[in-house]
Amino acid sequence: MLNYFNVHRGLTLTAWLCIVLSQHLYAQKKSLSRVYDPIVVAAGKLDPLKDDSIKVFTAYCYIEGNFRPSLFQIDEVDSKGFFLREQDQTADSNDQVVFMPNGTGDRAPTDQWVEGSGDVRLELEVTDSLATPPAKGWLYLFRHVPNPPNLPPHVRYVRGPETVGSDIVFATSYVDSHSTEGWFVHTRIRPPYGDGQNILDRQKVRVGGRHNLFGSVTLNEETDVRYRSIRHGGGPVRVLREYGVKITFLGFLIDSTASFTTQYFPFSTVFGAQNVTIPAVTGLTVNLIRLSSDLNDRAIGMKFFNAFNSNGITVDGAADSPVNTITNPPDGVNWLMLTGNPGTIVTLMNIPLIGETRGLYYKDSLTPDNNDTGDKKSYGDSGILVTSTTNITGRLSFDFTTYYVDKNQPGSAGEQFKQRGLNPLQVTAVEQTRTITAVSENATQPADFRLDEARPNPFAPREGSVQISFDLGRTNIKPSLRIFNLLGQEVARFDAADLLRSQTILWDGRDRFGRLVPAGIYFYELTVGRQRAVKKLILLR
């Protein structure tokens, strides 16, 4: 196959640089502006990924003419939709690819490749259909990158003692931790998104009813829904936590267990359960189920919004009577929002179709309730409440998606998050093969002639020199390594004897007269006889 340099043999260096530069000028630029929404796509929808090892890929985005490493992961999911079960290390149709929108970049030219990677890569194109015109960004998965970069994670999990449910998750915008029984008891929204103070009293669970012998009874998360086990896993973009509980009634263990899974992303969590059996106790009629999150006194002054409270309700410890309407599936997704100086919490909810009445639960009261848990008070305690005059039976499935984002949002923000939830970012994958070697004009020359990517690139001379590595191959021909500006003017040249002694040179950003060159795009060219390779670097000041 003719390579790029064969096709353009005979052009002046200036003309050739203009052609190369034009590829970058007319390349598609990233327009994707979403920040908070994780991108989760089944490997089965990305045909080139199926049946490949999940360990062979390294992700990069293309920014300002260079590939930069990016975070992503592939999580294994079994045929029933459960995490943390499979460990075959092969991407099958159930497994999920996970990354963030800010990990994408521009669309890379087909002649640009990560040094040393395999000859096949996957181009993932991400599209936001809510934008006009649709916004796009790109992520590239390269196979077999030597010495892949080790980037700091977006999300980090720290396990507590194995005998209890306490653990902690550090994410980009928040920190969540759990009690010894495994429930949420601490949430702080990290600066600059919030003030960094804990605003959560606790997550609350209530199962209420009436027993033939004991009368009115209520089960809660502190005494009756107890820690049983924790599984955890995931990677740098999503941490997975499966929390198993055992259920007691009046202190006695009953034959009922349940598992709740939380997915932790950089700016959000997804808390849910599949087919949880509502506990059956002889003589007990269940007529109330409640799941809510209660804040503490640091939430005073925040405002509560949902789709039916557009003016907002101030959290102040004084009783309020908001419209308790919610929309039940399949009609729509419900949202709740609490916002103020401590940060913003937006929750999207799918309400299970159980019981007779499903509505909003909201309580704001300084008056202590000795039957409550936590601090015995309620500050913007909000969630869902299911009631029934008859026994609530069956299986319960639900999920709550909660975002922890910038402080003091307008009341309309909740609906915007809902629309983004209903219109997730779409991903398509294209397999691309390396078509341009950019190493030689003569196919009979040795194949080990090589010019590497400059490191670091971009580089700032005040922080040190840029390193350019190469391999001259088996030759006695005098080599040449020169640096040019965008006009094709030579600004620096390196001594041939130095090139023959070493496979690496350093450039300090000065021209051949010792003067500092201005910031901008430069090209470095290695020539040995008829062999030539050219690469680009960016100099910052």
pLDDT of residue 496: 86
Is residue 337 a contact partner of residue 413, using CB atoms and an 8 Å limit?
A: yes
Mean pLDDT of the residues in the chain = 87
Residue type for 247, please? Answer: I
In a domain, 413, yes or no: no
Q: Show the tokens assigned to 463.
A: 């922080």
313 Cβ neighbours under 8 A, 6+ residues apart:
303, 304, 305, 320, 322, 362, 364
Q: pLDDT for 101-118, tens place per residue?
A: 999 999 998 888 998 888
* Own/partner pairs, 242-249, CB within 8 angstroms, 24+ separation: 242/83, 242/84, 243/165, 243/178, 243/182, 245/182, 247/219, 247/279, 248/219, 248/223, 248/224, 249/217, 249/219, 249/224, 249/279, 249/281, 249/284
Residue 478 pLDDT grade (very low, low, confident, very high; cuts 50, 70, 90): confident
What is the spatial distance between Cα 360 and Cα 347, in angstroms, rounded to a whole number? 12
Of the given ranges (130-144, 162-176, 271-285), which has the lowest mean pLDDT? Answer: 271-285
CATH of the domain at 350: 2.70.98.10
Residue type for 42, please? Answer: A
Is residue 381 a contact partner of residue 205, using CB atoms and an 8 Å limit?
A: no
DSSP β-ladder status, 490-494 and 504-507: unpaired
In a domain, 412, yes or no: no
Same domain, 376 and 445: no
Is residue 427 a contact partner of residue 126, using CB atoms and an 8 Å limit?
A: yes
Residue 408 pLDDT grade (very low, low, confident, very high; cuts 50, 70, 90): very high
Name which residue leads in pLDDT, 15 or 295: 295
Average pLDDT value for residue range 195-209:
95
* Edge-to-edge strands, sheet with 357-365: 215-220, 200-211, 284-295, 378-387, 357-365
What 3-state class would DSSP assign to 49? helix
DSSP β-ladder status, 200-211 and 225-234: unpaired
Q: Show the tokens assigned to 409.
A: 């949002």
Same domain, 190 and 308: yes
pLDDT of residue 3: 34
Same domain, 305 and 253: yes
229 Cβ neighbours under 8 A, 6+ residues apart:
243, 244
Name which residue leads in pLDDT, 449 or 166: 166
Same domain, 327 and 210: yes
pLDDT of 143 over the 60 cut: yes
Same domain, 234 and 338: yes
Beta bridge partners of 514: none
Helices (H), 68-167: none
pLDDT of 342 over the 80 cut: yes
In a domain, 416, yes or no: no
Give how many domains the chain has, as a whole number. 3
What is the chain's alpha carbon radius of gyration, rounded to the nearest angstrom? 29
pLDDT of 6 over the 80 cut: no
pLDDT of residue 373: 94
Nearest to 143 by CA among 59, 62, 76, 75: 59
CATH of the domain at 534: 2.60.40.1930
Same domain, 61 and 11: no
pLDDT of residue 75: 94
pLDDT of residue 22: 41
In a domain, 453, yes or no: yes
Same domain, 105 and 176: no
pLDDT of 437 over the 70 cut: no
Q: What percent of the chain has pLDDT over 90?
A: 56
What is the spatial distance between Cα 453 and Cα 471, in angstroms, rounded to a whole number? 12
Is residue 422 a contact partner of residue 128, using CB atoms and an 8 Å limit?
A: no
- Omega within 30 of 0 (cis) for the link into 329: no
Q: b/e per residue, 453-490, with b = 16+ CB within 10 A?
A: bbebbbbebeeeebbbebebbeeeeebbbbbbbeeeee
Average pLDDT value for residue range 79-84:
86
Q: pLDDT for 255-272, tens place per residue?
A: 677 889 999 999 999 998
Q: Which of 368, 399, 433 is the last residue of a domain?
A: 433
pLDDT of 9 over the 70 cut: no
In a domain, 415, yes or no: no
Same domain, 95 and 161: no
In a domain, 421, yes or no: no
pLDDT of 404 over the 70 cut: yes
Secondary structure letter of residue 489 according to DSSP: -
pLDDT of residue 405: 97
Same domain, 199 and 325: yes
Same domain, 331 and 449: no
DSSP β-ladder status, 167-170 and 156-159: antiparallel
What is the spatial distance between Cα 398 and Cα 218, in angstroms, rounded to a whole number? 21
Same domain, 189 and 324: yes
What is the spatial distance between Cα 525 and Cα 493, in angstroms, rounded to a whole number? 10
Distances (CA, A) of 409 to 26, 302, 529: 37, 10, 64
H or E stretch including 232?
strand 225-234
Name which residue leads in pLDDT, 332 or 312: 312
- Residue entry with tokens 């990158």: 145
In a domain, 338, yes or no: yes
Residues of the domain holding 251: 156-407
Average pLDDT value for residue range 69-86:
90
pLDDT of residue 27: 61
What is the spatial distance between Cα 160 and Cα 400, in angstroms, rounded to a whole number? 24
pLDDT of residue 7: 33
How many residues are present in the chain? 541
What is the spatial distance between Cα 138 and Cα 54, in angstroms, rounded to a whole number? 19
Same domain, 248 and 321: yes
